[in-house]
Chains A and B, each alone.
Chain A
């Protein structure tokens, strides 16, 4: 019996002879919609809140002194499924290792978040930035400087 509510038989679709009231009802419905608040948002200026676990552009974290937390261990590059991360480590005797180059190809990246999980120093994280646009492929290859401030690349409609 419950099926009857949403399964219509063809015989139910025959003209019922009622025309005026359904037309007025329809007009009333659209007029009500016209005066209600749109459910779409004015996208570049207004944006929807994404989940806290959203996986967007990467950020390389820095510590209190402004130095990169990364020690260039290479675990992220190792675990990265599409091999989007390239690291060139640099080490002086007695000093901490740090990455001389840390490049992520954002076009290769599949935003799985494995790098974030693999990192022993909590040095890389995925931010909520999801709408980075640019004109050239080269612009999507992010180096250390770009990776420090991914918020700069939020699309602003220009």
Chain B
């Protein structure tokens, strides 16, 4: 029992440290890649090629002044960033970094838990995370904040549906809700080959869930002056920011797990494949951000309901027919 507890605690610490380091450095990747796409250099004054920039940003976040607007709903205003970051960090629990390995006679699994309903857990908790943004916008007593929060909630409802439909197709193919089983079911052939349409659907809806450009309705800088986090300053703002990038890491991990075969890869299977694939997805998130302008709000809504939702349903239907005919 003691041994089990020790291993669990060490594993948790390592997993969270590694994940949050990736989260911190994805901000660096974002700034650097955006810079180079726009023919700039990006940060390069703090440390070698700006590598200490996330740490400097964190320290700066702590020392900034905390502002709470007079007409803010104070308890909710304080609670919103906590919900946001709490839900985002909780998702790290189910990220499958790698398979079982043996160190000094102990068999260690390179994931924190193997929930039987893993993917449902992800969908549920990531939706709770969006409450942070909604409450934050609502409670800050600012019109831009309210509009940002409302837009965020509407978008979240619309795209969560298509996201779940994309996941259902994968679950049908893999035959399990557990993320570990889903990874193990793609040993030979990755799900991206079996389910290319679900992959595209998942990427599009995931970007909408992440509030990234072209779907950054809740924090449209140009229209809403940063939307739901307009009144937040100092570390509270940094928490929202961290939650966003944490979601991005979890999104990358999910794409890797559901479609790109998790820790499987040519030559040696292992966590290095997982991290490589995650990095590619994070790079893609930044890359597409630098490419696309923001969609108009009604375009976002009609795209979600009129195109993605029927597309997802059709995909499920075709997958079912395929499985029925070929008796898989």
> Which of B16-24, B33-41, B118-126, B205-213 is found at the contact surface with chain A?
B33-41
In the complex, chain A residues whose CB is within 8 Å of the CB of B40: 38, 40
Contact between B39 and A36, CB atoms less than 8 A apart: yes
Bound CA–CA A25/B149 (angstroms): 33
Interface size counted on chain A using CB atoms at 8 A:
14
| Residue B322 is within 8 A (CB to CB) of chain A in the complex | no
In the complex, whether B291 has a CB less than 8 A from a CB of chain A is: yes
A34 to B39 CA separation, bound complex (whole angstroms): 7
Residue in B35, B36, B44, B287 whose beta carbon sits within 8 Å of that of A27 in the complex: B287
List residues of B whose CB falls within 8 A of some A CB: 33, 35-41, 44, 287-288, 290-292
In contact, A26 and B33 (Cβ under 8 angstroms): no
CA distance A30 to B33 in the complex (A): 10
Number of A-B contacts (CB under 8 A): 34
The answer to whether A27 touches B288 (Cβ under 8 A) is yes
A binding-site residues for B, Cβ under 8 Å: 23, 26-27, 29-31, 33-34, 36-40, 42
* Identity of the chain B residue whose Cβ is nearest the Cβ of A31 in the assembled complex: B287
Q: Is the CB of B291 within 8 A of A34?
A: no
Q: Would B41 and A34 count as touching, CB distance under 8 A? A: no
- What's the least CB distance linking A33 to chain B, in Å? 5
Inter-chain contact A33/B36, CB cutoff 8 Å: yes
Residues of B within 8 A of A39 (CB): 39
Question: Considering the chains assembled together, what is the distance between the CA atoms of A38 and B37 in angstroms?
Answer: 8
Give the nearest-CB partner of A28 in chain B: B291
Q: With a CB–CB cut-off of 8 A, which chain A residues contact B39?
A: 33, 36-40
B292 touching A34, Cβ below 8 Å: no
